[in-house]
Amino acid sequence: MFPVFASTRAKARAVTCSSHMSQVAKAVISYSYDWNRALPFPCNEQDVNNWWTNTWRERVLSYVGGDSSVMLCPIPTYKPEPWVPKDMQISHYGMNFDLTHPAFSQLGTPGPYGFTFSYTDEISDPGSTIMISENFDGDWSGEPYEGNPQHMAGCSYGPGTFWPYHNGRGTFAFCDGHVRAMTWKEAEANNFYLWKKYKP
Ligand SMILES: [Zn+2]
């Protein structure tokens, strides 16, 4: 393929990814309006043996008209975790881990897996807080890369690790619904500022 066509195709895929993620972010916001501003619970904490069922993605599916293709980047290179059944591999868009788990911020009392209910009105700066990122392996979560070479190796070590599928950039949706492409460095600047639910 001529480079010019390749780059046009790459740009088209990035645009499609942004459009998809924008729809998913709006779906999460609509969901929260229907649930007293609560964000969808990230995974199935009621049934810890099947935690990958009924993740936030299934919970917001009806808000994108039941069309799971909207939850996919057009670049089909993600590596789903092997224990997740094929029909559950609907997406590699992950919800920012820090929104529902005290990864960086201090949240409320966590449940068995450490997740907690989280409300959109607790997010002090929605326009600077990541809601969704693309991840490497089809996990429910989106997490920073953190410069960890183990994460680079992928799969078993860092499920949910952000991955830049689009020419060094990855697509991110923020809690106010806007979408932006960023590099690893941009996404992790200022000690992971954009990932933190509660800003320092
Ligand atoms: Zn993408």
Condensed to tens digits (0 to 9), the pLDDT of residues 87-142 reads 666 678 999 988 887 555 544 444 445 677 789 999 999 999 999 999 877 778 88
Pairing of β 141-142 and β 93-96: parallel
Task: Measure 46 CA to ligand 1 centroid, in angstroms.
Answer: 31
Task: Measure 62 CA to ligand 1 centroid, in angstroms.
Answer: 21
Give the rounded percent of residues in the chain with a pLDDT score beyond 90.
38
Task: Measure 17 CA to ligand 1 centroid, in angstroms.
Answer: 5
Whether residue 173 contacts residue 22, with contact meaning beta carbons closer than 8 Å, is answered with yes
Around ion ligand 1, residues with a beta carbon closer than 5 Å are 17, 73, 134, 165, 171
Task: Measure 166 CA to ligand 1 centroid, in angstroms.
Answer: 6
Q: What is the pTM of this model?
A: 0.85
Task: Measure 26 CA to ligand 1 centroid, in angstroms.
Answer: 17
Task: Measure 28 CA to ligand 1 centroid, in angstroms.
Answer: 18
CA distance 47 to 55: 11
Residue ranges of alpha helices (H) inside 74-169 are 149-153
Residue 189 neighbours by CB distance under 10 Å: 12
Task: Measure 168 CA to ligand 1 centroid, in angstroms.
Answer: 11
Q: What are the pLDDT digits (tens) for 143-186?
A: 887 665 444 433 334 567 888 889 899 999 999 999 999 998 89
Task: Measure 75 CA to ligand 1 centroid, in angstroms.
Answer: 6
Amino acid occupying residue 18? S
Whether residue 137 contacts residue 79, with contact meaning beta carbons closer than 8 Å, is answered with yes
CA distance 26 to 63: 8
